[in-house]
């Protein structure tokens, strides 16, 4: 083909630019793998892999057991397929970005999986039946995940990202509370050690999907699958530096045991248990609360030696034991070797601890 365009070819190019999108639009569609409605599902999968990595990390830490979130293929939202894939009954959790990124995505999850995660969070065995209180637990859990995601997404796009509070509601997929037209869905497999895998759907609104396309479209078509170095935007030099950091130290230098610890983790050992054991000697602030009182400013100014302040608790009523300002037990005051102490009479139930998160 000649390097010089004929007048007819130039005219054809000008006509195409005046028509449906022009040459640039055609090249964009071919270059980034968009399908149908213009959503780059590889970019979407790459972006959501960041959320899944943070979800796995945060939830593993909270539950003290290995939890993995793995993204599957993305596609245009199909309510029938979503209903079939995610075990009913279902909840919908709305996760939103406010700054840096704008928009929402929705987590479609079965109540069975919510009960499992919430019960394990409350130190249960994971076999509890779903209750309304589990909504508060899963909301708190996802708020922590989104907090971690804000930092990760901010690093990826080079801007500060803030998130809103997670909202949860019952879901009837035949009458969804959100419009599903033009949305995209990426299915996720959630695996918790000693329990069966579960399917979770992530539905992304068009405006947020467009932003994911913009920020993650290029790197999603580079080398590597989402979840490895390529999907995180690391160059070959950065990957090599990372490999050097985790390699054996030379010249007799000591790595303080960190290399061996990471090897043990990657070998599939019981690293969640070991990580928790490392925290067992951390000191926590424990307080005893006899009661409280509300006083007007005038009453406070009138306080003097000999003044009596009446508390909101009756004599003989159990006092509260607080750890880091959270009530964990109730007890009665005793004297031990001329010092005051407390005899535990009851522990706060998991349900009460969940309510305290509100």
Q: For residue range 125-145, list pLDDT tens digits in order.
A: 888 899 888 988 899 889 889
For 299-331, give the DSSP string.
HHHT--TT-----SS-TTPPEEEEETTEEEEEE
For residue range 195-204, list pLDDT tens digits in order. Answer: 989 999 999 9
Which pLDDT belongs to residue 106? 92
State yes or no: pLDDT of 159 exceeds 50: yes
**Is the N-terminal amide bond of 322 cis, ω within 30° of 0?**
no
CATH classification for the domain delimited by 41-235, as one of 3.40.1550.10, 3.40.50.10470, 2.60.40.1260, 3.40.50.11540: 3.40.1550.10
Same fold, 41-235 and 286-355: no
Task: Give me the CATH topology for the region 286-355.
Answer: Surface presentation of antigens (SPOA) (2.30.330)
3-state secondary structure of 146: helix
Distance between first and last Cα of the chain? 69
d(CA 92, CA 259) in angstroms, rounded, equals 41
pLDDT band at 333 (very low <50, low <70, confident <90, very high): confident
3-state secondary structure of 94: strand
What's the whole-number mean pLDDT along residues 37-52?
81
Which pLDDT belongs to residue 11? 62
Please answer whether residues 227 and 72 qualify as being in contact, where contact means their C-beta atoms are separated by less than 8 angstroms. no
State yes or no: pLDDT of 161 exceeds 60: yes
The structural domains of the chain, with segments of one domain joined by +, span: 41-235, 248-277, 286-355
Q: Which of 121-135, 153-167, 203-217, 238-252 has the lowest mean pLDDT?
A: 238-252
Query: 225 — phi, psi (to 5°)?
Result: -90, 160
Which pLDDT belongs to residue 6? 61
Q: How far apart, in Å, are the Cα atoms of 317 and each of 52, 289, 346?
A: 46, 12, 12
pLDDT over 70, % of the chain:
70
State yes or no: pLDDT of 334 exceeds 70: yes
Q: Which of 146-150, 218-222, 350-354 has the lowest mean pLDDT?
A: 218-222
* Alpha helices for 164-321 (secondary structure H): 206-216, 236-246, 258-266, 271-277, 297-301
Q: Which of 107, 105, 106, 108 is nearest to 84 (CA)?
A: 108
């Amino acid at each position: 083909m000649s390097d010089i365009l004929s007048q007819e070819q130039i005219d054809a190019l000008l006509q195409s630019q005046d028509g449906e999108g022009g040459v640039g639009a055609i090249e964009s569609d071919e270059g980034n793998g968009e399908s149908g409605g213009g959503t780059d599902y590889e970019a979407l999968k790459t972006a959501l892999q960041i959320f899944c990595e943070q979800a796995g990390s945060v939830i593993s830490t909270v539950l003290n057991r290995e939890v993995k979130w793995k993204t599957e293929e993305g596609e245009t939202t199909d309510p029938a397929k979503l209903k079939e894939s995610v075990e009913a009954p279902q909840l919908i959790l709305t996760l939103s970005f406010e700054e840096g990124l704008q928009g929402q995505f929705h987590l479609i999850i079965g109540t069975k999986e919510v009960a499992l995660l919430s019960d394990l969070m409350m130190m249960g065995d994971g076999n509890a039946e779903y209750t309304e209180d589990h909504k508060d637990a899963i909301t708190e859990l996802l708020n922590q995940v989104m907090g971690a995601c804000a930092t990760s997404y901010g690093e990826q796009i080079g801007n500060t990202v803030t998130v809103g509070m997670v909202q949860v509601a019952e879901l009837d997929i035949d009458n969804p509370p959100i419009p599903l037209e033009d949305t995209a869905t990426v299915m996720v497999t959630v695996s918790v050690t000693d329990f069966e895998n579960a399917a979770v759907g992530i539905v992304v609104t068009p405006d947020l999907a467009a932003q994911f396309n913009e920020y993650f479209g290029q790197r999603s078509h580079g080398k590597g699958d989402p979840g490895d170095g390529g999907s995180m935007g690391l160059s070959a030099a950065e990957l090599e530096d990372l490999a050097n950091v985790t390699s054996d130290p030379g010249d007799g230098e000591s790595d303080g045991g960190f290399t061996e610890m990471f090897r043990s983790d990657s070998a599939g050992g019981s690293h969640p248990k070991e990580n928790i054991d490392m925290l067992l000697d951390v000191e926590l602030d424990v307080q005893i609360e006899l009661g409280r009182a509300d006083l007007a400013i005038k009453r406070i100014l009138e306080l003097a030696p000999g003044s009596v302040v009446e508390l909101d608790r009756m004599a003989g009523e159990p006092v509260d034991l607080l750890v880091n300002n959270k009530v964990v037990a109730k007890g009665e005051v005793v004297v031990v070797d001329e010092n005051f102490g407390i005899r535990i009479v009851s522990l706060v139930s998991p349900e009460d601890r969940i309510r305290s998160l509100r």
